[in-house]
A and B are shown apart, each in its own frame.
Chain A
Amino acid sequence: MSDSDLSSKYVLQTAGFDARFPNTNQTRHCYQNYTDYFKCVAAKGEDFAPCKQFKRAYNSLCPNEWISKFDDQRENGTFPASLEP
């Protein structure tokens, strides 16, 4: 099986190093990207491509349980950050 066949189909990467969150505890990194994605969408609309970067980041970084918890909180209006742009 050749590596080049696979690598041409899938680009495997995760969120890059963010100097704002240099330590082992990456909770804030996940949370910040989640918040930034929805603020970005609120400001620029869902079709604005650069917003997708935040979405990719939080999907990589955050445990799925957290993502569904955050989504539920947003629906209930209890998400603990302002998502206004």
Chain B
Amino acid sequence: MTNINNINRSDFQYFPFHLVTPSPWPILLSFSLLTMAIGAVMYMHGYSNGGELLSTGFILTSFGMGLWFRDVIIEGTYLGDHTRQVQKGLQLGILLFIVSEVFAFLSVFWAFFHSSLSPAIEIGGVWPPQGITPLDPFAIPLLNTILLVSSGAFVTYGHHALIHGDRRGAILGMFLTILFAVIFTILQYYEYSEAAFTMSDSVYGSSFYASTGLHGLHVIVGTIFISVAFIRLINYHLTDTHHQGCEAAILYWHFVDVVWLFLFIAVYYWGGM
């Protein structure tokens, strides 16, 4: 049609925002999260079937998230609902989410410094505590630092390639990012299995595994996030000027990298001296 008249006016909206159609995912996801939370508590306190409930909740949450994000991709890429204004809203959303993640990490870092700056007499008044052999920070942890920083460089290269319409460069950059991320995860798994201390080994073990473990979960989530962007890139979902999901993944990945740098300096290097 070439003009808007009173008959077809209702087919158009005069505002740039996206009023989403009703969706079951939010309520489904909220119950899935509750199931996962209760399952986790039950498991950790030794109640029977806690582990099963946790696994069920986790699977439901994962699928719920997948289905919700799938819908967002459909709305943006296939239905054209993501005007510039909507894009900016999504960008603000991911920024605020990352800010909330920063606070989560602040709490584990606080716990670490609380126990390590004034070590209790029960652990010998020293840090690392009496009897703890920390990991050598200049072995695998240093390599992991190089891997993550390099992956940050690769993802930036890939992003710039995308902006300049260089499809091959964008795919290469994203691929190398994912490769290094996976190698990091494998090396961390190896370190975890070979370390001389467990999470139960004094407050050192607890604070070490709580902080690096929370980070590791974020690396895994970030890897999946980048992988989704990678697959979408290959499938021509993205343009050189419109790729919010990709930028969100990149921002999240840089955040993960920065947290690792703090971990390396505070927990691995200073905490192991």
A64 to chain B, nearest CB (A): 16
Q: Does B89 contact A (CB under 8 A)?
A: no
Contact B121 A82 (CB under 8 A): no
What B residues does A82 contact at CB under 8 A?
130
Query: Bound state CA distance, A31 and B119, in angstroms?
Result: 12
Number of interface residues of B (CB under 8 A): 9
Q: Does A80 contact B (CB under 8 A)?
A: yes
Q: Does B129 contact A (CB under 8 A)?
A: yes
Most buried by B among A27, A31, A80, A82: A80
Query: Bound state CA distance, A28 and B120, in angstroms?
Result: 8
What A residues does B124 contact at CB under 8 A?
80-81
Contact with A along B138-170 (1 / 0, CB 8 A): 000000000000000000000000000000000
Number of interface residues of A (CB under 8 A): 7
Write the chain B residue with the least CB distance to A69: B122
Write the chain A residue with the least CB distance to B121: A31
Q: Does B65 contact A (CB under 8 A)?
A: no
What A residues does B129 contact at CB under 8 A?
80
What A residues does B123 contact at CB under 8 A?
80
Contact A27 B121 (CB under 8 A): yes
Contact with A along B179-193 (1 / 0, CB 8 A): 000000000000000
What A residues does B122 contact at CB under 8 A?
80
Write the chain B residue with the least CB distance to A35: B125
What A residues does B130 contact at CB under 8 A?
80-82
Query: Bound state CA distance, A28 and B123, in angstroms?
Result: 12
B119 to chain A, nearest CB (A): 10
Residues of B174-209 at the interface with A, using a CB-CB cut-off of 8 Å, are none
Query: Bound state CA distance, A31 and B124, in angstroms?
Result: 9
Most buried by A among B125, B129, B131: B125
What B residues does A81 contact at CB under 8 A?
124-126, 130
A71 to chain B, nearest CB (A): 15
Write the chain B residue with the least CB distance to A66: B121
Query: Bound state CA distance, A27 and B125, in angstroms?
Result: 10
Write the chain A residue with the least CB distance to B126: A81
What A residues does B131 contact at CB under 8 A?
80
B188 to chain A, nearest CB (A): 29
What B residues does A32 contact at CB under 8 A?
125
B163 to chain A, nearest CB (A): 57
A78 to chain B, nearest CB (A): 9
Residues of A68-85 at the interface with B, using a CB-CB cut-off of 8 Å, are 80-82
Between-chain CB contacts (< 8 Å), 11 pairs: A27-B121, A31-B121, A80-B121, A80-B122, A80-B125, A80-B130, A80-B131, A81-B124, A81-B125, A81-B126, A82-B130
Given contacts A32-B125, A80-B121, A81-B130, 6 further A-B contacts (CB under 8 A): A28-B125, A31-B121, A80-B122, A80-B124, A80-B129, A81-B125
Give the 8 A-B CB pairs with smallest separation, nearest first: A80-B124, A31-B121, A80-B130, A81-B124, A80-B123, A27-B121, A80-B122, A31-B125
